[in-house]
Structure 1
Amino acid sequence: MDFRTFSRLTTLVFILCETGGMLLAQDRQDEATPANNAARRLNEDGLIPVDGAIASVQKRLSTAPESASLQRLLGQLYMRRAKEQGDHLAYQKAEQTFRKVLKNYPKDSKASTYLATALQAQHQFKEALKIASDVAKESPKNTLAQATIGDCQLELGRYDAAEESFATLAKMTNGPSVQARLARLAELKGDTEQATELLTEALRDVQDAGGLGSLESWFEWRLGSIAFDTGRLKRASRHFRNAIAIDSSNAQAVVGLAKVQAAQGQHGEAIAAYFGAIEDFGEPPMMAALGDVYRRLGDEEEAMHWYEQAEEAMAEEAVHAAAAHYREVAMFYADRDLKPQRALELAKKDFALRQDVYGHDMLAWTLYRNGKFEEAAKSIEQALRLGTRDAKMFFHAGMIYNALGQSKRAQKAFETAIEINPHFSLLHSETAKEELAKLAPH
């Protein structure tokens, strides 16, 4: 999986998509005034654009500035704006809003819980974990706090603790949000079949409940992502197309389908899809991916043009969201062998925030790009410790072991990468096959 969910964030979109419903469900217990109920419906149902909903709540706050429930709702709306518009500054506004509530009402557990989710979205996982853990001690039935605890532990690489937290959550509640978290843990541990089963069950539950477009589309995208990562291109294409049919604004699904087309050699279709995605969503990873297609076609000039566009767009995002994009930018540079020192610097900054297997992988890959092969080997072994079935990770391992002259380990790593997904990267799949041919000529 590439970049921001593209770099396993998802995680960011995952967190927002999955905890959003829990936020709203919990907040229904707030003061039930007609104005509050009307504003809450704007957030739940999306009947008007989020900016209009924010304006509505702010207007209400002008006559009731001390209302904790309205302040909490405003913070939730900022979170929604961040998710829908990619407005990273909105996460900071949400954080500030929840902190304002807590300044006036230090014991407000809902505000504390929401603050933890806002910090989590900004990759401040340690502080988010502490706040959510404190809430859970005082309110053991707070499902959102419990979910946030597990999410943060996952990002920090504390997998045993995360598994326990999700098991506790599963005893407290059930449904798609829990299944999605269990699926992600299963995927990280290398059990992609169980992950697929859990996500399929969750999707069915959403559909049986009458469906919620964005959530149903999200589960289709997740299923497509796992299918792609395990080399099942036709299945991946089907899921991505389903996701887009349900919600055409699902940028991840649009990009996922373009990746499938590129992997199938349908370069013209992939280029058209990426151009459309860039026009509609303008995300840096889309620009970088378009550059990869051109590089694959041998058009280095056009590839570099789009890499420069991606770099400029990432620089703009970094103004308000540097921490959330350290890994994305480091991966951008390292995958294309651009600015290796800068890539390593960013990978180290990201690693200081979260020490999951992908943090170790990114650190290993950037160390390799800087010729620090022995250090890279130590990091890649940590990245592989869970048994995660990620072809790119094994490719990185193969390149590192090869550089150290460890031919047998390199051969095994390349074989595993190709076995998992022979189309794992436009840039590196052929390299893996070429290196393997040198190590194990037929």
Structure 2
Amino acid sequence: MKTVKTRNALFAGVCVMALGGAALVWGPGLLDDGPQPLPGPAARAMTAAHAGAPASLPDLAVLIGDRETWLREHPEDDASWAVLGAAYTERGSRIAQAADFGRAERALRKSLAVLPAKRGNVDAQLALGALANARGDYAQGRAWAERVRKQKPKRWAAYPVLIDAYNGLGDYAKAHKAAEALQKARPTAAALDLAAQSFRDRGWREDADATAIEAAAHAGSPVQKAACLYRLGELAWERGEPAEAAAQYTAALRLVPAHGPSLAGRARALGAQGRAAEAFRDYRAALAAAPLPEYALEAGELYEAEGLDRDAARQYEALRARVTEAGSFGVNGEVVLARYETDHGAPRSAVRRLRTQWTKGHRSMEVADALAWALYRTGEAQEALPYAKRATEEGRRSAVFSYHRGVIERALGEYGAARRHLAEALRTNPSFSPLLAPKAREALAALGDPPPGGPGAGSRSSPGLRPGGAPRAMGVPPA
């Protein structure tokens, strides 16, 4: 499922990084420091950067090559090192190429060696913040961006980095304030897209949808418009409209055929419509474009739901391999790995991983939900419930979060609350997971109708009845 995004999944969200992270830190001084004029594709990439928009991947590649060539002859150009590091970070995020993050860090450290932070190297600091976010180190991302904001309070490029970091840390109030400040400072399509995400996280679906539509209307390039259409697809998916979601993803793919997030999103939507063969096609294409472990997990669970266990096993093995490989370049893949372990055989390991993330301050809705579910799967439903409540009460309307909370409440004998949250999961998105949505329907049916006397009656005393009056068995169900 893409509802858990370790952000947002793992790179805190591919779309946020492209629209609001590294692409925003390339300062206007570059053209004075670099060769004149820049080649056409590199110039287009710089133009996109100055507008706060993502560059196309071919243009980004040309810009990287151009800066590498220039820096071989001009190694003391701190601005070009910062540009190169930011470009590596964006490319690494967009195509899930973690090796680019190592290249980015070397370039950015070189920029700071030439012009230290205390002497005003703001671009390198912001790029390091974006790099930290891309690796899943949100505390470090926040630290870099807040340092820049203190040095240069009017530097609008700090806000997207802060928004990404705050979201990863679960500080949604600060993320929302930063999104508002960005809109005031620079009301662009990128700012509108980030505002749509903030509205979605607060549960304001109508505002999120309207703002995402406005962002798409203001997008200045095919790459940026595709990112905004992807956002609209995600919003449609989360409210249980797979056909509408697929249409938005398809529109994005007409503009950028290898847009990994839209390929994975359309695969998910097609799977929900019973079009498994087409879904597998799109998952293969998504993994070719950006081999994210999240995509492998989604594909594996669809294969499993279709009874294709060998194919599922191959995806799960690929997931573990990708997390390990990315980890060698500093990427934190613990949350997606823990999600896999929870539902596929090692929940105690998942609890250990997620407790470590929580201790590090990674307290997003996704981490709270994942920890709640892992604790439940180890038989610790009582300890799980506060985390499940935290995930569901932040505001976002997530079918997965509601399902997990409902199952935990059922295990604790809180049948009224369990019935309410299981029904909410299916009402929010009846096809939220190829493996879990059928279990949600079974669990809700097992609880039976509410007891006489209103919604609260018998909330802890009645175990619920199966159709026909047979008591439901208690305890933790199998995976």
TM-score, structure 2 length as denominator?
A: 0.84
Unaligned regions of 5+ residues in structure 2, if any?
Answer: 47-54, 450-466, 468-479
**In 2, Cα distance between equivalents of 1:93 and 1:333:** 31
Please tell me whether the aligned partners of residues 3 and 331 of structure 1 are also in contact (alpha carbons under 8 angstroms): no
Matching residue's letter, 2:82: R
Query: Hey, what does 1:80 align to over in structure 2?
Result: 90
Alignment of 1:293-312 (within 5 A): 293-312=302-321
Q: CA contact under 8 A between 1:395 and 1:414: conserved in structure 2?
A: yes
On the 8 A contact 2:12/2:133 being kept in 1, the answer is no
**1:161 is matched by which residue type in structure 2?**
K
Which residue number in structure 1 is paired with residue 19 of structure 2? 18
In the TM superposition, what whole-angstrom CA distance separates every residue of 1:229-256 from its partner, at most 9, and x where no partner exists? 1111221111011011111111111111
C-alpha change, 1:188 and 1:3, in structure 2 (3 Å) is closer
Are 2:160 and 1:153 aligned? no
Aligned to 2:388: 380
Amino acid aligned to 2:105: E
Residue 145 of structure 1: CA displacement? 1.1
Which amino acid letter does the alignment assign opposite residue 32 of structure 1? D
Separation in structure 1 between the aligned mates of residue 313 and residue 23 of structure 2, nearest angstrom: 43
Q: 1:118 aligns with which of 131, 136, 142?
A: 131
Does 104-113 or 375-384 show the bigger shift?
Answer: 104-113
Q: Which is richer in helix?
A: 1
How far the C-alpha of 1:213 sits from its partner, in A, is: 1.6
When residues 57 and 42 of structure 1 are mapped into structure 2, their CA distance, relative to the original with a 3 A threshold, is farther
Structure-2 separation of matches of 1:346 and 1:198:
36
Does residue 248 (structure 1) correspond to residue 257 (structure 2)? The answer is yes
In structure 1, the partner of 2:189 is 176
Q: Match for 1:339 among 317, 328, 346? A: 346
* SS of equivalent to 1:309: helix
Q: Check conservation: 1:15, 1:121, Cα contact below 8 A.
A: no
- Matched-pair contact (CA < 8 Å) for 1:22–1:144: no
The 1:279/1:68 distance shift into structure 2, 3 A limit, reads closer
* 1:95-106 superposed matches below 5 A: 95-106=105-116
Match of 1:165 among 162, 168, 178: 178
Query: In structure 2, what residue type is equivalent to 1:77?
Result: A
Unaligned ranges ≥5, structure 1 = none
Q: Is the 8 A contact 1:95 1:115 kept in 2?
A: yes
TM-aligned CA distance change 1:384 to 1:73, over 3 Å: same
With over 3 angstroms needed to count, the CA separation of the structure-2 counterparts of 1:316 and 1:69, relative to structure 1, is closer
Counterpart among 71, 79, 85 of residue 61 in structure 1: 71
Q: Distance in 2 between matches of 1:404 and 1:249?
A: 46
Is 1:330 paired with 2:338?
yes
Task: Work out the CA distance in 2 between the residues paired with 1:393 and 1:110.
Answer: 38
Q: Do the aligned partners of 2:406 and 2:420 also contact (CA within 8 Å) in 1?
A: yes
User: Which residue of 400, 404, 409 maps to 2:412?
Assistant: 404
Give the conservation status (yes or no) of the 8 Å contact 2:18–2:90.
Answer: no
Q: 2:282: which partner in 1?
A: 273
Task: Tell me the amino acid that sits aligned with residue 387 of structure 1.
Answer: G
Structure 1 residue 127 corresponds to structure 2 residue 135: no
Counterpart residue identity of residue 137, structure 1: K
Partner of 1:41: 43
Separation (CA, whole Å) in 2 of partners of 1:4 and 1:398: 17
Q: State how far apart, in whole Å, the 1-side matches of 2:321 and 2:61 are.
A: 27
Query: The residue matched to 1:341 in structure 2 has which SS?
Result: helix
Query: CA separation in 1, counterparts of 2:37 and 2:295?
Result: 39
Cα distance in 2, alignment partners of residues 4 and 407 from structure 1: 26
Amino acid paired to 2:79: S
Instruction: Work out whether 1:144 is the aligned partner of 2:152.
Output: no
How far has the Cα of 1:426 moved from its partner?
0.3
User: Percent identity between the aligned chains?
Assistant: 23
CA contact (8 A) 1:31 1:69 kept: no
**In structure 2, what residue type is equivalent to 1:386?**
E
RMSD in angstroms over aligned alpha carbons? 2.4
Distance in 2 (CA, whole Å) between partners of 1:276 and 1:118 is 26
**SS across alignment from 1:93:** helix
Question: What do residues 144-196 of structure 1 show as CA deviations (whole Å, max 9, x unaligned)?
Answer: 11332233222212222222222222221111121112111111111112111
Count how many residue pairs are aligned between Structure 1 and Structure 2. Answer: 435
Residues 144/402 of structure 1: CA separation in 2 closer, same or farther (3 Å cut): same
2:221 — aligned with what?
212
SS of 2:223 mapped into structure 1: helix
Cα distance in 1 between the residues matched to 2:313 and 2:324:
16
CA distance in 1, matches of 2:402, 2:272: 19
Report the more deviating stretch, 295-304 or 132-141: 295-304
> In the aligned structure 2, how far is the partner of 1:123 from the partner of 1:47?
22
Aligned match of 2:463: none
* Counterpart code for 1:139: K
Structure 2 CA distance for aligned equivalents of residues 285 and 102 of structure 1: 34
The answer as to whether partners of 1:3 and 1:328 remain within 8 angstroms in 2 is no
- CA offsets, 1:363-420, max 9 Å, x none? 1111111111111001111112222200000000011111112111111110110110
- Aligned mates of 1:3, 1:387 — CA distance in 2: 14
